[in-house]
Structure 1
């Protein structure tokens, strides 16, 4: 317990020092300790006394509690901040919905193309972020004129799909506040469209936001209630949305440390996945591959790294239709090797993820935390290779 606390405190001291762009010499001097002592603290070799911890916090201009907080914190990369600011302007301050709306067929095609890019392009952040602003404007115009033109149902379905995409982009660019706003708009639009599958998908989106905010029980309730409402619906599309909701509920259970419930939920939808096959209903990427990936995620959450690695070896992740899920899977594998302190294997998987989708590794906090630990704690050769990757992606690690 003490050793883990020392590691956690050291990681946070280093995090805040790097975020403040201060050297060890400067922080040590301000805190009235030696540079070597600060070095030992950051490496997790020494657990500072309370007075020393308070002095370090003052030198870093952060509350002392932030150095012992168990919740992870990340430096938001410059490109992620810029994308988040652009998205904020688009979703909160759209231009007046005046003018002739885009034909709904064209709007639908553009939304589908944006989703396709998001799930298939290695530069999806750059491409999709630039499209969302105009699409939001067009959707709002369509909603504004829907009653007069009798196109309410289709307009609301388009809005539900677009705001579902906006939710995931906002989450990945570090704007969980905007993700919640987008998820709420998606749900309202889905309910207005009277489309039960889109309502289920919108609640799937909302559950993901709750997970991102660490409201695990809320996420679980949202997903399980939505799945219950879809249970009696027939057809492969309904089955896919149902299965996706159960998978989110499984992750939520794992994060509240109910591993057996999480495993049971993942196992329960594998027969559903074999019936639907690899599909992408409402962009949920449900299928046998996604279910198997979630089984790995559950074991990683549980700290069962050997089992996670064993399960991962059996998965052909290339079969997933979503690059987001493929990269997430590679990062989950890297995380499992990180937990085992097999930093060489973790770096191999980070490099694989970077080759498949460089922007994902540049944006995702999980990739940053793994990369930082490899740089800080791996052997010299591996640490140097990790530092080169971090420099290439402008990820702050030292």
Structure 2
């Protein structure tokens, strides 16, 4: 008796698209007639065959088992959704030759460089990340079944670095759920590569996910535990200092978010600052941009959040952002200064700073929720001589 007509057959046919039935069947290791019977609902595939079909079609197994109608052919959704689809298994067919570890390394480093230095980094990331994620995921699948241990480790390292970048991108685009998934993938890739530096970097990224999810106590605890492990990890001293300091800064932020200003200041001075003295600003170890200038930025942020605006501006006057290798950190500095001026109800100074930020990082200014609130505050407070400029800035940012 023929099997009941399950949705899996129609979904396999849908995802096969224009590919020849006999070609897909041959790559999976079944006969074209058997695949035809599966697609017509006359046969129910075993789990190994279902898994092989999903890999070859470039979709997760869940996509073939769902009882919902398969999606339309047209691609709908945001870049963040495209990244999410790639993370969840949609990608190249299993038989497609994977991109080599060296090429992946160069592409990931280029993506990181753009993310940290480009004023239009969100647009660039949206255009490049979905394909890069798919290629890395595909290379990982091939490397895990391959016999070359060196190649496997190189792919895992590239994957760990990419997932950390994804964490930053997805958090800033409002997808904290996917940012948490990316941070977890970074941790697993770093552990599989047995790479202490990348394991510490992954913990740093996970700490920032917890901060974004409004879990500062959990972020602080995780960062301090990770810092303890870094102290005994096998890595060069400069890397150890940089990662210890970066993790200490996550703990500083956790204390500050809980309004424990004294504790945040103490940890900054006694734990993070000594590490920074051993790490030049230009090193950018683990893509954390940790160094003396980053310490000064955090000190400024603590005083501003604590309401000590005069002290915050005094600290800002002493900060030189020139050594920073990250435009993002320069933007953060400017935003802190603008917030200080706003707290002092100096709308003209806040507007001038915000216009400067628009010149160097317009996408960050338009997307950052805190920046958007600052601009609206300036619009409400600005006198007639500056009101028009403030309103025009709000229009360019899509606020009005």
In 1: Cα distance, 2:365 partner to 2:294 partner: 20
Match of residue 13 from structure 1? none
Matches within 5 A, 1:342-381: 342-381=346-385
Q: Deviations over 1:211-268 (max 9, x none)?
A: 1111000110111111111124451012111111101110110010111111112213
In 2: Cα distance, 1:339 partner to 1:180 partner: 33
Match of residue 238 from structure 1? 240
Match of residue 84 from structure 1? 80
- The alignment status of 1:189 with 2:192, answered yes or no, reads no
Match of residue 329 from structure 1? 333
Contact 1:250 1:263 in 2 (8 A): yes
In 1: Cα distance, 2:182 partner to 2:159 partner: 10
Q: Deviations over 1:53-85 (max 9, x none)?
A: xxxxxxxxxxxxxxxxxxxxxxxxxxxx94433
- TM-score, with normalisation over the residues of structure 2? 0.76
| Alignment CA distance shift 1:314-1:197 (3 Å) | same
Contact 2:104 2:155 in 1 (8 A): no
In 2: Cα distance, 1:90 partner to 1:140 partner: 8
Q: Does the residue aligned with 2:322 lie in a helix, a strand or coil?
A: helix
Q: Does the residue aligned with 1:316 lie in a helix, a strand or coil?
A: coil
Q: Deviations over 1:340-377 (max 9, x none)?
A: 21121111111111111111101111110100111123
Question: How far did residue 97 of structure 1 move?
Answer: 5.3
- The alignment status of 1:276 with 2:279, answered yes or no, reads yes
In 1: Cα distance, 2:214 partner to 2:377 partner: 23
Instruction: Say which one has the larger Rg.
Output: 2
Contact 2:204 2:247 in 1 (8 A): yes
Match of residue 248 from structure 1? 250
In 1: Cα distance, 2:325 partner to 2:93 partner: 34
| Alignment CA distance shift 1:91-1:316 (3 Å) | same
User: Structure 1 unaligned runs (5+)?
Assistant: 1-80
Q: Deviations over 1:77-111 (max 9, x none)?
A: xxxx9443333333335224521111101110100
**In the comparison of the two structures, how many residue pairs are matched?**
316
| Alignment CA distance shift 1:331-1:310 (3 Å) | same
Greater fraction of residues in helix: 1
Q: Deviations over 1:272-294 (max 9, x none)?
A: 21221112011100111111111
In 1: Cα distance, 2:232 partner to 2:387 partner: 53
- TM-score, with normalisation over the residues of structure 1? 0.76
Q: Aligned-pair RMSD on alpha carbons?
A: 1.6
User: Structure 2 unaligned runs (5+)?
Assistant: 1-76
Q: Deviations over 1:20-76 (max 9, x none)?
A: xxxxxxxxxxxxxxxxxxxxxxxxxxxxxxxxxxxxxxxxxxxxxxxxxxxxxxxxx
Q: Does the residue aligned with 2:214 lie in a helix, a strand or coil?
A: coil
Contact 1:374 1:382 in 2 (8 A): no
In 2: Cα distance, 1:130 partner to 1:347 partner: 31
Matches within 5 A, 1:1-398: 82-96=78-92, 98=94, 99-147=96-144, 148-150=146-148, 151-233=151-233, 234-268=236-270, 269-278=272-281, 279-394=283-398, 396=399, 398=400
Contact 1:83 1:173 in 2 (8 A): no
Q: Does the residue aligned with 1:321 lie in a helix, a strand or coil?
A: coil
Name which structure has the greater RCO, CA cutoff 8 Å, separation 6+. Answer: 1
Contact 2:375 2:394 in 1 (8 A): yes
